[in-house]
Structure 1
Amino acid sequence: MAEKIAASQVMTNPVNFFAFGFGAGLAPKAPGTFGTLVAIPFVWLTADLSLFYYLALTAVICIVGVYLCHKSAEQLGVHDHPGIVWDEIAGYFITMIGFSFTWTNAIVGFVLFRFFDIIKPWPIRWADKKVSGGFGIMLDDIIAGMFAWVSLFLFNYFGSGL
C-alpha cells in the first residue's frame, strides 16, 4: 500500500497537480481508472485534429509525462505512487490514435487500456518492474496503450455490429 498523500500536496504543487491527473489520482480506490477517465474529455476535445497533430500532441504528453512523473515521484519520495496517473492519460491518448471519437470507441478503448494496464502481460510487466524513473513510470502505460490500440483496431476492423 502506497503512502497516503495529502490533497494539499497535490492541489497546490503544479507538478503533482498534473502528475495526479488534475487531482483524479487522489481517488481512494482505483486512481488509475479515474486518471484514465480524465483523459476521455481531452481525447474528445482533440478528436478533430489531423493525425499529424494528434500524434504530435500525444508525443508531447508522453515526453512531458516522463518529467512530471519523475519529479512527482521524487518530491513525494514514492516511486510510481498509484496516484500518479499522467501515465494513464498518455496511455489512453495512445489507445485512441487514429480512431474517430464515438462512444463505442471511447468505451471499448477505455476498457481495453484498463485491462492491459491492470493485467500487465509481457512486456508491460517487465517494463513496470525493470525500468525506473519517470521513463519507467510512463513506459508500461505506453506499451499498454499500444496493446489496447491494436485490440481496438481489431475490434473495429472485424466489426462489432455496434
Structure 2
Amino acid sequence: MTGLAALWGVGRLPYGPGTWASLVALAPGAMLLALGGPLLVAAAALALCWLGWRAVSVLPDEAQQADAGWIVVDEAAGQWLALAGLGAVSLAGILFAFLLFRLFDIAKPWPVSWADRQVGATGIMLDDMLAGALAALALILLRLLAPEVLP
C-alpha cells in the first residue's frame, strides 16, 4: 500500500512532491475527462480517494499523524476532482485546474484548513478533496461568467 500512497515513487521526489503528484495526475485525469466527461473524472476521483484512504490507513501511525510529505495519493485524487469542473479538455482548462487546485491546497482556505487539522487517513485525504472541490467550483463559475476564457 506504500506504493499507492507515494504514487509509486512520485512522493519520494526531493522538491515539491505534492506539486509533482498533481502534475502526474493531470494526464490520466484529462484522459478520463475526454473519454467520459466530468462525471467520469469525478467518479474516478472518488474511487482514487477511497483507495488512497485505504492505503494510508494501513501505514504506521507516525506517517499518518504527521501527514508525511511522501504521501501524495491525496494530491492526485484532489487534482482529478478539480478537473471535474471542466466541461471539456483544453490546455487552458487543465492549466487553470492545476493552478487553482495547488492554490487551494497550499493556501488552505476554510474548509480545507479545518480538514487539514483532522488526524489520520481521513484528514490526509479530505483536505485535498476539499481543495479539489473548491477548484472545481471555481472552474464552473469561471466557465459560466467568462466562457470566452474557459469554454
1:109 maps to 2:94: no
Distance 2:147 2:14 in 1: 35
- Match 2:78 to one of 91, 113, 137: 91
Match of 1:9 in 2: none
Match of 1:5 in 2: none
Deviation at 1:116, TM superposition (A): 0.3
Deviation at 1:66, TM superposition (A): 0.8
1:148 maps to 2:135: yes
1:121 maps to 2:109: yes
Relative to the length of structure 1, the TM-score reads 0.82
* Runs of 4+ deviating beyond 6 Å: none
1:65 maps to 2:36: no
Distance 1:127 1:91 in 2: 13
Q: How many residues align?
A: 145
- Match 2:63 to one of 64, 78, 96: 78
Q: Deviation digits for residues 12-60 of structure 1, max 9, x if unmatched?
A: xxx1221112211111111110010111111122121255443332221
Q: SS of 2:52's equivalent?
A: helix
Is the contact made by 2:112 and 2:131 (CA closer than 8 Å) also made in structure 1?
Answer: yes
Gaps of 5+ in 1: 1-14
Match of 1:28 in 2: 14
Relative to the length of structure 2, the TM-score reads 0.87
1:159 maps to 2:146: yes
Q: SS of 1:83's equivalent?
A: coil
Q: SS of 1:84's equivalent?
A: coil
1:38 maps to 2:28: no
Identity %: 32
Distance 2:68 2:106 in 1: 15
Q: CA RMSD in A?
A: 1.7
- Structure 1 residue identity aligned to 2:101: F
Q: SS of 1:28's equivalent?
A: coil
Distance 2:127 2:75 in 1: 10
